[in-house]
Structure 1
Amino acid sequence: MVEVVTAGHVNWDVTLRVDALPQPDGEARIDSQRRSGGGSAANVAVALAGMDFETGLVGSVGDDESSHLVRRELKNAGVDCSHLLAVTDGETTTKYLIVDPAGEVMVLGNEGANEAIEPADVDPEYVTQARHLHLTSQRPDTAAHLAAVATEAGLSVSFDPGRRLGERDYSEALAYSDIVFLNDREAREILDKDLEYPSSELHGRVVVIKHGGDGAQVDTPGCSYAHPGFDAEVVDTTGAGDAFAAGFLRVLLESEGPIGPDAEYDRALEFANACGAMAAMREGARTAPTWAEVGSFLNEQYSG
């Protein structure tokens, strides 16, 4: 039995470190390149598995060589892949991550198979035997179906819709979500100009807004929390947001009870910021730290 099901994109990443992001009609030097699994749903599943949770993944890949590499990495990390759909004659989505010396990332990708999974492909029993469902960017109808299935079974639901939020209608999935993760740009797209919560899908939700190097804030129906983040020598911001989400959920889910108004949102925010900072100090999308590593990091921060 898995404790947390993550659902959404499962990719194969090609990371290119360059001396500068090229201008139009320009050229840049590739200093290094690496290949590994990626995709927000897969990244969070791996991160939570590294923090001692049993995790499973709902998503889709092709049946090409990259899909075998993706599955092998996930299984080695302890993620259950029994509900990872293989698309016959499909191509696993590949993302090219262009990383500059400051750790900023530009993403190029093919459509691939990562949104092939439809509502009819979802096994409700697999979702409802878990404690929590974490959604990431995917087809809006599939996200809404998954969220409805989980909510009706009494699971808590979190959703990190990602950079395509402004161009997709995620209103139904958002309405079912207990926790929503946004970055500054996404918050500006979905909230009003003062970042307030009008009568919308987010009213009454726990909303976590990530400010990058400036920390993050959590707004709940009863109160708000903010944390300035931690100084980090940024190497690569790829996957830092996924590490943040995993860390936040790890703290909230450590107790056996449901996520509710008395949850330790302030401690979850601190832990998540530590996870994001540590991930940004390492190269690649699968760099979320373990529970013990975060504990050591926080001890160093406050003892120094």
Structure 2
Amino acid sequence: MRVLVAGHVNWDVTLRVDRLPEPDGESRIFDQQSSGGGSAANVAYDLALLDVSSGVVGSVGDDEHGLLATRELEEAGVDLSGLVRVPDGETTVKYVLVEEGGEVSMLANDGANEAVGPDDVDDAFVASAEHVHLTSQQPETAAHVARVASDAGATVSVDPGRRLADRDYGDVLANADVVFVNDREAEAVLDAPPKEAFADQVLVVKHGAAGAEVHAPEGHFEHPGFGIEPVDTTGAGDAFAAAFVATRLDGGGYERALERANAAGAYTASTEGARQAPTARALDAFVAERT
């Protein structure tokens, strides 16, 4: 296992609607699909597509949704040794609303996706990874995984996601080599300019269709993106992170990592569903056709 991914493992129900609902309004559903989801599961799955061996630390219930979600990961070759199955628990289900322009809103139940506490983590499993990628989860659990990984000599990246402003991820960020944020998170949460706040770390700022940039000790790097018309942005950020991590692990520079990460995000956003990331061959072809 080269990359361990820790965080949420969900079951997604994607509802394509004519517009996102407004208060006292109504939207029309014109398509419905179901698949595995959750940022940790998505990144691990996407890494497997890129021929990078991956594993997951997370939790599901012992219900049908948990069975379906884990089956997809197993079929992709993801190591589930660190996955906790909660007896009589319900797997978290997210309802993903996607409007015609590709914008996304989400509804979720609590479910079992944060049932893993620090004491439930197999430290040896974490320490066996070359790189650990952390996604949204209990801050205490994320901090524990980050410390174990750092102590074992692994590199650590974190993409805390939408709840960054609501949770204390200070200890997690302190142990991270790479931090992923989008524009909203960078502006709303990071008090200092990137070069001051992350002087010794790598900050990756995602700009959606407008590309992304890296602030690193080695310098500043940008890529403008690929200008696609989004169909469904669900999972695009996870595909971005997977491609960035995979490229850096294979020795690629920041320019190459940004190019492939933006390509993976664009590829995913141009199709429906969170599990539409490219294989390594498809990603190379996508980049070659547009450069």
| 1:9 aligned counterpart, secondary structure | coil
User: CA contact under 8 A between 1:236 and 1:281: conserved in structure 2?
Assistant: yes
User: CA contact under 8 A between 2:232 and 2:269: conserved in structure 1?
Assistant: yes
| 1:235 aligned counterpart, secondary structure | coil
Task: Confirm whether residue 212 of structure 1 aligns to residue 208 of structure 2.
Answer: yes
In the other structure, the counterpart of 2:108 is 109
Task: Confirm whether residue 196 of structure 1 aligns to residue 206 of structure 2.
Answer: no
| Alpha-carbon separation, structure 2, partners of 1:282 and 1:265 | 26
Residue 233 of structure 1, CA deviation? 2.1
In the other structure, the counterpart of 1:70 is 69
In the other structure, the counterpart of 1:235 is 231
Per-residue CA deviations over 1:218-260 (Å, capped at 9, x if unaligned) read 00012000111002121100000000000101110114xxxxx
User: CA contact under 8 A between 2:59 and 2:112: conserved in structure 1?
Assistant: yes
In the other structure, the counterpart of 1:143 is 142
Residue 83 of structure 1, CA deviation? 1.5
Query: Normalized against structure 1, the TM-score is what?
Result: 0.94
Q: What are the equivalent positions in structure 2 for 1:1-304 lying under 5 Å apart? A: 2-192=1-191, 195-198=193-196, 200=197, 202-255=198-251, 264-302=253-291
| 1:157 aligned counterpart, secondary structure | strand
User: Across the two proteins, how many residue pairs are aligned to each other?
Assistant: 291
| Alpha-carbon separation, structure 1, partners of 2:21 and 2:166 | 26
| 1:233 aligned counterpart, secondary structure | coil
In the other structure, the counterpart of 1:258 is none
| 1:271 aligned counterpart, secondary structure | helix
Note the aligned Cα RMSD (angstroms).
1.1
Residue 197 of structure 1, CA deviation? 4.2
Residue 192 of structure 1, CA deviation? 2.9
**Fraction of identical pairs, as percent:** 57
User: CA contact under 8 A between 2:194 and 2:215: conserved in structure 1?
Assistant: no
| 2:271 aligned counterpart, secondary structure | coil
Residues 13 and 105 of structure 1, relative CA distance in 2, 3 Å threshold: same
User: CA contact under 8 A between 2:221 and 2:255: conserved in structure 1?
Assistant: yes
Per-residue CA deviations over 1:193-215 (Å, capped at 9, x if unaligned) read 7x3343x5x33110000000110
| Alpha-carbon separation, structure 1, partners of 2:82 and 2:287 | 36
Deviating more after overlay: 142-151 vs 84-93: 84-93
Residue 63 of structure 1, CA deviation? 1.0
Per-residue CA deviations over 1:169-210 (Å, capped at 9, x if unaligned) read 0000100000000000111123237x3343x5x331100000
| Alpha-carbon separation, structure 1, partners of 2:136 and 2:93 | 15
Structure 2 residue runs without a partner (length 5+): none
| Alpha-carbon separation, structure 1, partners of 2:67 and 2:76 | 14
User: CA contact under 8 A between 2:50 and 2:279: conserved in structure 1?
Assistant: yes
| Alpha-carbon separation, structure 1, partners of 2:92 and 2:75 | 20
| Alpha-carbon separation, structure 2, partners of 1:149 and 1:125 | 9
User: CA contact under 8 A between 1:230 and 1:273: conserved in structure 2?
Assistant: yes
Deviating more after overlay: 38-47 vs 202-211: 202-211
Per-residue CA deviations over 1:126-177 (Å, capped at 9, x if unaligned) read 0111111000000000000000000001000000000000010000010000
In the other structure, the counterpart of 1:260 is none
| Alpha-carbon separation, structure 2, partners of 1:217 and 1:236 | 22
| 1:288 aligned counterpart, secondary structure | coil
| Alpha-carbon separation, structure 1, partners of 2:227 and 2:172 | 34
Structure 1 runs, 4 residues or longer, greater than 6 Å off: none
User: CA contact under 8 A between 1:61 and 1:114: conserved in structure 2?
Assistant: yes
| 2:194 aligned counterpart, secondary structure | coil
